[in-house]
């Protein structure tokens, strides 16, 4: 029966592998076993072959061919993968713009292996410029993950100093840097994490006089501020300059996240939140408290949306709003749309812009 040749060849293969015998030598040995079995079948015609040999000459040869194919596949596949990786690395290193160093290729290898990112996507990250408004709870994880991912230029704007009360959630800062400007503290942490990233600290408040000029220098803006006045100002500046905006907000156990890109047909932040809530209806973290890991969850999601936007991977949250409840361990996504009467990106505002 054909079972015996399969068992014999399987045993030879796995015993050889356990002893470190190369696949080529194992295949050669199996070929010799099969040739010997076939020769015995030829020497004992009319089915008189010894029982220990079993099967038939054709069965032994069939199993031998299958074993050779499997072994060949096992040998060829790693070589094809290595060749593909070499071509991918070569394209990353020799493409337009500054070439990746060997250290960078090793650092970003897990990104380059992703089909949705690859070498081309990693190069887009290296060439990208992102502005993060606020180096607090949301900005801290976002900044760290953007830096770790290899975003080429990261701008940080914040006029606050590091306080002890920040350290419960603002993980980019450290106790030894209490009293430092948040921009300086964040820049030091980013450089320590990834020296290949250029950091542009802006120690000042995000104000009307500089808003549009500042965002125009970047490809994407992340807003992690804690008040509606600044959020609306960031949104207006981004909409005016056609810069996509990723904005998140948190309080107590809940957070929300959206991508706002009216230049590509999506809503802007004011389309979704047209009015500033009355005092007390949307308390800040300082007023209502916040569980420490919540800004980490939403801030990491902000970074993920940024990487997806820059590399073209997957579906972003443009036109959708993600709401996360950490207390109940629930997340939901709702559709949001553009408003024609929006004072920032609606029909009237577009007519005035023309």
- The Cα–Cα gap between 12 and 101 comes to 44
Q: How far apart are CA 303 and CA 109, in angstroms?
A: 18
* CA proximity to 344, closest of 192, 237, 209: 237
Task: Establish whether 285 is a catalytic residue.
Answer: yes
Q: What's phi and psi for 223, nearest 5 deg?
A: -110, 115
Q: What is the DSSP string of 75-89?
A: HHHHHHHHHHHHHHH
Active-site pick, 34, 238, 271, 285: 285
Nearest to 117 by CA among 92, 134, 141, 80: 92
Q: Where are the beta strands (DSSP E) in 219-337?
A: 220-223, 245-251, 254-260, 320-325, 330-335
220-223 vs 198-202, strand pairing mode = unpaired
Q: At residue 351, what are phi and psi to the nearest 5 degrees?
A: -65, -40
List the catalytic residues: 285
């Amino acid at each position: 029966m054909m079972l015996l040749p399969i068992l014999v060849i399987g045993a030879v293969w796995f015993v050889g592998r356990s002893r470190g015998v190369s696949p080529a030598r194992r295949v050669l040995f199996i070929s010799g076993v099969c040739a010997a079995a076939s020769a015995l079948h030829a020497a004992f015609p009319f089915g008189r072959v010894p029982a220990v040999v079993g099967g038939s000459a054709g069965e032994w040869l069939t199993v031998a061919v299958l074993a050779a194919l499997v072994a060949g596949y096992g040998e060829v596949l790693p070589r094809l993968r290595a060749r593909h990786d070499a071509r991918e690395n070569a394209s990353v290193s020799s493409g337009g713009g500054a070439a990746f160093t060997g250290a960078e290729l090793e650092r970003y290898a897990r990104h380059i292996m992703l089909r949705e990112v690859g070498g081309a996507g990693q190069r887009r990250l290296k060439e990208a410029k992102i502005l993060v408004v606020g180096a607090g709870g949301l900005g801290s994880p976002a900044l760290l993950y953007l830096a770790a991912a290899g975003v080429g230029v990261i701008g940080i704007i914040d006029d606050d100093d590091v306080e002890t009360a920040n350290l419960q959630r603002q993980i980019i800062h450290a106790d030894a840097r209490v009293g430092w400007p948040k921009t300086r503290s964040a820049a030091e942490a980013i450089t320590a994490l990834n020296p290949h990233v250029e950091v542009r600290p802006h120690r000042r408040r995000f104000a009307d006089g500089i808003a549009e000029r500042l965002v125009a220098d970047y490809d994407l803006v992340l807003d992690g501020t804690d008040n509606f006045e600044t959020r609306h100002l960031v949104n207006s500046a981004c909409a005016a300059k056609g810069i996509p905006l990723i904005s998140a907000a948190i309080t107590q156990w809940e957070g929300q996240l959206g991508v706002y890109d009216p230049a590509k047909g999506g809503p802007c932040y004011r389309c979704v939140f047209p009015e500033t809530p009355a005092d007390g209806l949307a308390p800040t973290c300082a007023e209502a408290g916040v569980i420490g890991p919540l800004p980490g969850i939403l801030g990491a999601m902000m970074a993920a949306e940024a990487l997806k936007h820059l590399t073209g991977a997957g579906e972003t949250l443009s036109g959708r709003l993600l709401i996360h409840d950490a207390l109940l361990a629930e997340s939901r996504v709702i559709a949001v749309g553009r408003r024609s009467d929006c004072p920032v990106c609606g029909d009237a505002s577009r007519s005035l812009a023309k």
